[in-house]
Amino acid sequence: MTNSNIAASIKQHLDQMIAFRRDLHAHPELPWEEVRTTQKIAEALEAIGIPFRLTKPTGIIADIKGGKPGKTVALRADIDALPVLELNDSLSYKSQTAGKMHACGHDAHTAMLLTAAKALYENREQLRGNVRLIFQPAEEIAQGAIEMIKQGALEGVDNVFGMHIWSTSPSGKISCNVGSTFASADLLKVTFKGRGGHGSMPEACVDAAVVASSFVMNLQAIVSRETSPLEPAVVTIGKMEVGTRFNVIAENAVLDGTVRCFNLATRERLKAALERYAEHTAAIYGATAKVEYIYGTLPVINEERSALLAQSVVRSAFGDDTLFTEKPTTGGEDFSFYIENIPGCFALVGSGNADKGTDWAHHHGCFNIDEDAMAKGAEFYAQYAWSYLQQDSF
């Protein structure tokens, strides 16, 4: 199923891949600001000979045309960094921009996909079909995938594949489960309005702090008593702004939170319950409530045939012991929009290695990756595309 020539090509480009990743790591750019990153990717594609087009305001779509007719498979990598202060002071390639950091591995994703592109291009005459390369901006704010799709990223595409470096999985292991992989990730804002006044005269007021506190304490019953234990869900209030002074009863309270689940029907039930809890809690105290529910990413649900193909590619390319089963995460991924209407799957490439200090959580200032895992990541990209296009029927 896999191609030994592709494996050989990947090995020839490992040093360049790591150097490219380190350059991106030293020059992180936030969502929709990936100008230098886009330029570097364009220069690399031009050097290989792969035609591409720039998307707006950042990002790139490129195509490798195979020597034989067939379908089109898309490979996606995200390219943006985070507003995180890097704490890896000993790294020679530490971020050169204070407060910005590749704290999630997107620098590695980009370098791996470029290396896979080199290998596929070098073996393009044997490809039965075409490979679309998607270098996507703004994943961290869940906007990039939608915009890339609007700009034609999926036009003519039959299947789409992506991956993520994963620090909680052992380095070199690869997971691509059938079904649930990432949860939907929505935003919640609740504003309670009471009646402010002097702290010595509570009877003349409606205390928004009490209303908000009651809401926070009670809303977990939405998960524990209104949601099936077989349908995982998370409701978190992460921020509360209430009050202005120690002796002033608060008139307003603003709460921000997030809602995560793996099922769209569950998602709608959670939304309705949150609105009900807010309205009824406010009514108990004589306050009012306004709920803003902002849909974020969809859940990432790997299509069965695509995930099974990815598993077979892992076994063929790297051996049975490389295949790993990682539990679904309630983190969000806007890769979900690519597979909303097109078959595909999303894999996790383990990078956790305590001896190398690469087992820090994603988005932490000490996050780093085990670069040895990148060789498998790059080859996995390329071998998935090759194997998908070789299928007589899919």
Active site residues: 80, 139
The number of beta carbons lying within 10 Å of the beta carbon of residue 101 is: 26
Task: Give the containing element (helix H, strand E) for 196.
Answer: none
Q: Alpha-carbon distance 192 to 200, whole Å?
A: 21
Query: In angstroms, rounded to a whole number, what is the distance separating the alpha carbons of residues 73 and 387?
Result: 10
Question: At 363, phi and psi to the nearest 5?
Answer: 80, 5
d(CA 271, CA 283): 19
Q: Is the four-CA dihedral 112, 114, 116, 118 of positive or negative sign?
A: negative
In angstroms, the CA 56 to CA 68 distance is: 31
Give me the amino acid identity at 94: K
Whose tokens are 């050097």? That residue is: 47
Cβ proximity of 34 and 59 under 8 Å: yes
What is the 3-state secondary structure of 302-315? ECHHHHHHHHHHHH
Q: Residues with Cβ < 8 Å from 383, sequence gap 6 or more?
A: 2, 3, 6, 7, 313, 316, 317
- Judge whether 253 and 212 are in contact, CB under 8 Å: yes
Nearest Cα residue to 335 out of 176, 189, 99, 174: 176
What letter does residue 321 receive in the DSSP assignment?
A: G
Residue 152, phi then psi, degrees to nearest 5: 95, 15
Residues 74, 132: Cα–Cα separation, whole Å:
4
DSSP classification of residue 320: G
Q: Which residue has the tokens 């939405």?
A: 222
